[in-house]
Chain A
Amino acid sequence: MTNSWTDIKNTDLVVIMGGNAAEAHPCGFKWVTEAKHHRGAKLIVVDPRFNRSASVSDYYAPIRPGSDIAFLMGVIRWCIENDKVQWDYVRNYTNVGYLVREDFGWQDGMFTGYDEEKRSYDQTSWEYELGEDGYVINDETLEHPRCVWQLLKKHVDVYTPEFVENLCGTPKDRFLKICEMIGETSSPTKTMTSMYALGWTQHSKGSQNIRGMAMLQLLLGNIGVPGGGMNALRGHSNIQGLTDVGLMSNLIPGYLAMPRETEPDFATYMSTRGNKPLRPNQMSYWQNYGKFMVSFMKALWGDKATAENGWGYDWLPKLDIAQYDAMRMFNMMKNGEVNIYFCQGFNPILSFPNRGKMTEAFSKLKLLVVMDPLATETAAFWENHGIYNDVDSASIQTEVLELPTTCFAEDEGATVNSGRWLQWHWAGATPPGEAKTDVWIMSQIYHRIKALYEAEGGKAPEPIMNLSWDYADPEEPTAAELAMELNGRALTTLYDATDPTKVVLEAGKQVSGFGQLRDDGSTMGACWIYAGCFTEDGNMMARRDNSDPSGMGVFQQWSFAWPANRRVLYNRASCDPDGKPWDPSRVLIEWNGEKWVGPDIPDIAVTAKPREVGPFIMNPEGTSRFFSRKLMRDGPFPTHMEPFESPVANPLNPEMRGNPVARVFPDDLATMATSDEFPLVATSYRLTEHFHYWTKHNYVNAVNQPEFFVEISEELAAEKGIKKGGRVRVWSKRGQVWAKAVVTKRIRPLICDGKTVHVVGIPIHWGFKGAARKGFGPNTLGPFVGDANIETPEFKAFLVNIEPASEGLA
């Protein structure tokens, strides 16, 4: 989230699209209810299904799964055409005036530079035109044909209301009504918040869905303001923390990059990360990258990391490809290229697509280690459970070790919520049986591997042998010790850069913020964005003062929000160029003539004068981007792309299948279907009665939603002879499931490109373990392809078929 859960109460309009907040985030949804009740806010829901969020909405519109970009570009087009633009914001805080290279272009749904063989773009032309001073050229008149504004207008021109209706199946009158409601928030005193989740990410162009809304929010001046923002609702309670501390194959903590093979030494690694400002006076905060990176390596290897050895850079793994994401890993596993797999708090047999392929992959492992509080389907992938897990156990030779772990309520530590709040929690119960914390288990493994190196030697011993392990009990570091390491501390006494007699921080003391981290080896900090979470004043994450003097939902004394306890990112943009809040009744920060003051922590240097430094300090431009340069693999503007399995052709380019730069493994293309064979669009989702694959283990949740079902329209039910509560078979080109049928008015057939498109809704919560009845999940059916940028599987739009099934087969 750019904003926070509590900030949603400040909004005038909530748009839930690409998510279902009431259903999947019921507790956070209370802030929508609050905004509606006490602020008179309106709620719009755009979704293939009339879902639980829609049930309490002011306005609803249906949309075909996988057509969100067209809808969003259509809204942008409408806002431009009807002058619903927050002009002061757009002119001053975005890149609309910047000139783009002459050779950049877009045609037939493709950008310049496409290489069909590599399924990739040569992005050279996706760049600004720089002046002789090294800064990007800005045309304040916005009239230059190659300025971002003109390119944007041209880019969205095709997305007329008629185009949207034809492609998305959204009736034109509903689309236009939503445009009008959204357009109202272009006023400097009206804001809209976007709440989204997997409904936007689980597409082969998921990142571009989100870009689309982010651009619309910029156009309306709704980023950085109270009640505005792009608010990603994170699925697991600590999944925000997972990404923050870099549990991705290509990231290290604090969104720093895992080195690549092409960066053999630290100097080379740093050479592309200077981020020189692209406009005069801009902060371009990533110029501090080296401080964060060196402090991270000092946290790993302590005294062993020195300037001479590049702070231990050689001991970091080097990627030979862009990323070893989960799907690549499972594909390698299926090809017999993985021997041992550690599965920690993860149930991929139910959560990754093409379950048949997943089972085949796991069957090729020599050893599978599962660390989990629950008996997962992944740990039992080799057990035969009839139709629910129809495997030949005798033919599977994989050894499975289950290491029972504590669950969140049985241990201590911080959980990071969607709003970036690190909230400390305490153990509420004693773990059952032999369950141990993940930290204890990982420590045991570390000590044993180290002992093996000591006894027998081996390849690349340094990362393990040199690891800093300075804990009171080396067998089990405490959560507080690890948190203090994430925060960082001075290793030697730090002196003021301008006045060497002035002590900033004594050796051994916790840093108070990332501003104190240095690149000379004098500080350590394992996750720079968490600096400030555990300072000399104690554990900031454990603070529980719920006072909110400003009434703005800031709660500065409650827990700790990264970065720097800031509750709304880019909050400099909540003020006009002179530093006055756009809306005097909703103040986060303001310029008092000398400095920035207010209830929130300013997202800019406190003495940075208005009109000098732009609000988007992480960008070298100081502004935010409608044109995103080379940052995304599938284009600097979002362009409509169909799902890989779609009922209609892409009207921009009928030959194009899915996302032209999404990675598709050779074997998987053959498992993707066309609508001749599989005419129905399936989409997956959560139900509020359950949490992922956990709560089916809990009797009460299982009672509330006991059995796997799929949802279809009355029209499709009539066409196929399916009765309410009857048993059906749903199959794709990859697998089949049996389910009960919920026949509902909440799903209606859509008319797209003159065809009737039926949607089959498939919830995710059942498997063959737990208290609930045995069932299936949509991952049996979904295609093995992910987003072109981050490889999130395309679970929200794929093709299936459905028929009534006999009751006896179970």
Chain B
Amino acid sequence: MTERAPQPTTAAANPPVQPLTSNLLPSDVVRISATANVPAPERQLEKVAKLIDVSKCIGCKACQSACIEWNDTHPDMEENVGVYENPHDLTPEMFTLMRFDEYVNPEGDLEWLIRKDGCMHCEDPGCLKACPAPGAIVQYSNGIVDFVSSNCIGCGYCVSGCPFDVPRIHKTAQVSKKCTLCSDRVAVGQGPACAKACPTQAITFGTKESQIALANERIEDLKSRGYDNAGLYDPQGVGGTHVMYVLHHADKPGLYSGLPEDPRISPVVEGWKGATKTIGLAAMGLAAAGAVLHGLFSKGNQVSAEEEHEAEELVVKTAATPPENREGL
């Protein structure tokens, strides 16, 4: 009667239990906000992507739960306002959100289109280009666009720069927040928490190449079921994205809670890009670029008055939506 059950063997898909060193290093950064002349990285990481197959998504919000738990955020307990979206929008404490749309198709049949919203991790990131704070937004050579809160000044220009309306400004912490594509997990060989939690494998993660191949397989299946316009959402206007969708109606992305048809960085922000370079040069000098890189994750919230003024000139006056209206909390 003393026999005890044997311990389980860890399945291959489970995370390693031993500490691992990060595989996302400062030297893998290829772009830094408000910083010019980022040294070319010594290695090129393989491009990654998260694929969200809306045709497999059941809207269960396991991704939301996993996101809250992994990132240790604390979204507000809201009310029911007659919809399934809870919280009701992305917030600085809720980096991903299931959005639900009821669509009656031309045949008269109802479709309940459910889309996981969040940062798209653009190859050409508008947020990074708009950001006036050196080192607040970085892009790694694998494509992940990450916010470095310790460098963020909470100005909200990234919100204007984002064609997908994703970043949210935390009112009290004065920093901008969004999905990191779980860069901390990816750094140790894991997929994002949402992909790990997704029960139907509607969310998958891997090299961008592998995810495009999977998407093509899915699109073929959807076409065989009568979705003639099924396709991949990997908008080229922003250089492609590292979060992609399989859509049944790729010809009408707007059906999915207003997914932009042809997202592009606002021309204003594109202009700001040139200025960033100038200011960056002026502020730090060429030689400082390397130092920025090394001190990327330890820098405080510093920005010169000049930089801030320039930024306001270029972004706030002409941006379609003032940053304060995009604040989540």
Q: Of residues 569 to 600 in A, which have CB atoms within 8 Å of B's CB atoms?
A: none
Q: Could you tell me the distance in whole angstroms from the C-beta of B112 to the nearest C-beta in chain A?
A: 4
Most buried by A among B8, B58, B69, B112: B58
Chain A 21-64 interface 0/1 with B at a Cβ cutoff of 8 Å (1 = within): 01100110110010011001010000000101111101010000
Count residues on chain B whose CB falls below 8 Å from chain A CBs.
52
Cβ contact of B112, chosen from A539, A707, A746, cutoff 8 A: A746
CA distance A608 to B116 in the complex (A): 54
Q: Determine if B82 and A424 form an interchain contact, defined as CB atoms under 8 angstroms apart.
A: no
Q: Is B308 an interface residue (CB 8 A)?
A: no
Q: Of residues 1 to 55 in B, which have CB atoms within 8 Å of A's CB atoms?
A: 1-9, 11, 55
Q: Is B190 an interface residue (CB 8 A)?
A: no
Q: Determine if A58 and B225 form an interchain contact, defined as CB atoms under 8 angstroms apart.
A: yes
Q: Determine if A703 and B86 form an interchain contact, defined as CB atoms under 8 angstroms apart.
A: yes
Contacts of A772 in B (CB 8 A): 77
Q: Is B221 an interface residue (CB 8 A)?
A: yes
CA distance A740 to B78 in the complex (A): 13
Q: Is A404 an interface residue (CB 8 A)?
A: no
Also in contact, A542 and B80, with CB within 8 A (given A26-B60, A472-B1, A704-B65): no
Cβ contact of B81, chosen from A58, A539, A544, A725, cutoff 8 A: A725
Q: Of residues 524 to 545 in A, which have CB atoms within 8 Å of B's CB atoms?
A: 538-539, 541-542, 544-545
Q: Of residues 412 to 440 in A, which have CB atoms within 8 Å of B's CB atoms?
A: 412, 424, 426
Q: Determine if A744 and B80 form an interchain contact, defined as CB atoms under 8 angstroms apart.
A: no
Cβ contact of A703, chosen from B62, B68, B81, B82, cutoff 8 A: B68
Cβ contact of B80, chosen from A538, A709, A745, cutoff 8 A: A709
Q: Is B76 an interface residue (CB 8 A)?
A: yes
Q: Could you tell me the distance in whole angstroms from the C-beta of B177 to the nearest C-beta in chain A?
A: 16
CA distance A742 to B109 in the complex (A): 20
Q: Determine if B56 and A33 form an interchain contact, defined as CB atoms under 8 angstroms apart.
A: yes
Q: Is A773 an interface residue (CB 8 A)?
A: yes
Chain B 160-191 interface 0/1 with A at a Cβ cutoff of 8 Å (1 = within): 00000000000000000000000000000000
B contacts with A: majority SS: loop
Q: Is A752 an interface residue (CB 8 A)?
A: no
Contacts of B76 in A (CB 8 A): 703
Q: Could you tell me the distance in whole angstroms from the C-beta of A632 to the nearest C-beta in chain B?
A: 34
Contacts of B202 in A (CB 8 A): 33
Contacts of A541 in B (CB 8 A): 5
Cβ contact of A700, chosen from B65, B199, B201, cutoff 8 A: B65
Q: Determine if B102 and A707 form an interchain contact, defined as CB atoms under 8 angstroms apart.
A: no
Also in contact, A53 and B58, with CB within 8 A (given A58-B225, A700-B65, A700-B69): yes
Q: Is B287 an interface residue (CB 8 A)?
A: no
Q: Could you tell me the distance in whole angstroms from the C-beta of A193 to the nearest C-beta in chain B?
A: 17
Q: Could you tell me the distance in whole angstroms from the C-beta of A61 to the nearest C-beta in chain B?
A: 11
Q: Of residues 689 to 740 in A, which have CB atoms within 8 Å of B's CB atoms?
A: 689, 699-709, 723-726, 740
Q: Determine if B200 and A773 form an interchain contact, defined as CB atoms under 8 angstroms apart.
A: no
Q: Could you tell me the distance in whole angstroms from the C-beta of B214 to the nearest C-beta in chain A?
A: 10
Q: Determine if A56 and B58 form an interchain contact, defined as CB atoms under 8 angstroms apart.
A: yes
Residue of A nearest to B103 (CB): A745
Residue of B nearest to A689 (CB): B61
Q: Determine if B58 and A688 form an interchain contact, defined as CB atoms under 8 angstroms apart.
A: yes
CA distance A30 to B62 in the complex (A): 13
Contacts of B57 in A (CB 8 A): 56
Cβ contact of B110, chosen from A26, A480, A689, A745, cutoff 8 A: A745
Contacts of A26 in B (CB 8 A): 58, 60, 62, 199-200
Q: Could you tell me the distance in whole angstroms from the C-beta of B171 to the nearest C-beta in chain A?
A: 18
Q: Determine if B84 and A742 form an interchain contact, defined as CB atoms under 8 angstroms apart.
A: yes
Q: Could you tell me the distance in whole angstroms from the C-beta of B22 to the nearest C-beta in chain A?
A: 27
Q: Could you tell me the distance in whole angstroms from the C-beta of B14 to the nearest C-beta in chain A?
A: 11
Q: Could you tell me the distance in whole angstroms from the C-beta of B225 to the nearest C-beta in chain A?
A: 6
Also in contact, A706 and B86, with CB within 8 A (given A26-B62, A484-B1, A688-B61): yes
Residue of B nearest to A541 (CB): B5
Q: Is A743 an interface residue (CB 8 A)?
A: yes
Q: Determine if A50 and B112 form an interchain contact, defined as CB atoms under 8 angstroms apart.
A: yes
Q: Could you tell me the distance in whole angstroms from the C-beta of B82 to the nearest C-beta in chain A?
A: 3
Q: Is A471 an interface residue (CB 8 A)?
A: yes
Residue of A nearest to B2 (CB): A472
Q: Is B218 an interface residue (CB 8 A)?
A: yes
Q: Determine if B5 and A424 form an interchain contact, defined as CB atoms under 8 angstroms apart.
A: yes
Q: Determine if A689 and B77 form an interchain contact, defined as CB atoms under 8 angstroms apart.
A: no
CA distance A706 to B75 in the complex (A): 11
Q: Determine if A426 and B79 form an interchain contact, defined as CB atoms under 8 angstroms apart.
A: no
Residue of B nearest to A546 (CB): B11
Q: Is B260 an interface residue (CB 8 A)?
A: no
Q: Is A263 an interface residue (CB 8 A)?
A: no
Q: Of residues 224 to 257 in B, which have CB atoms within 8 Å of A's CB atoms?
A: 224-225
Q: Determine if B102 and A744 form an interchain contact, defined as CB atoms under 8 angstroms apart.
A: yes
Q: Is B114 an interface residue (CB 8 A)?
A: yes
Contacts of A771 in B (CB 8 A): 77
Q: Could you tell me the distance in whole angstroms from the C-beta of B105 to the nearest C-beta in chain A?
A: 12
Q: Is B104 an interface residue (CB 8 A)?
A: yes
Residue of A nearest to B202 (CB): A33
Q: Could you tell me the distance in whole angstroms from the C-beta of B236 to the nearest C-beta in chain A?
A: 27
Q: Determine if A539 and B5 form an interchain contact, defined as CB atoms under 8 angstroms apart.
A: yes
Which residues of A are interface residues toward B (Cβ below 8 A)? 22-23, 26-27, 29-30, 33, 36-37, 40, 42, 50, 52-56, 58, 60, 412, 424, 426, 470-472, 478, 480-481, 484, 538-539, 541-542, 544-546, 688-689, 699-709, 723-726, 740-746, 771-773
- Can you name 22 A-B residue pairings with CB atoms under 8 Å? A22-B58, A30-B200, A33-B56, A37-B217, A50-B110, A54-B112, A55-B58, A55-B113, A56-B55, A56-B56, A58-B225, A471-B1, A542-B5, A544-B11, A689-B60, A699-B77, A706-B86, A708-B80, A740-B79, A744-B102, A746-B110, A772-B77
Interface contacts beyond A426-B5, A703-B86: sample of 6 additional A-B pairs, CB < 8 Å, sorted by A? A30-B199, A33-B202, A542-B8, A701-B65, A726-B82, A742-B82
Closest 8 CB pairs between A and B? Answer: A725-B82, A724-B82, A707-B80, A55-B112, A22-B58, A740-B80, A542-B5, A725-B81
Which residues of B are interface residues toward A (Cβ below 8 A)? 1-9, 11, 55-62, 64-65, 68-69, 74-84, 86-87, 102, 104, 109-114, 199-202, 217-218, 221, 224-225
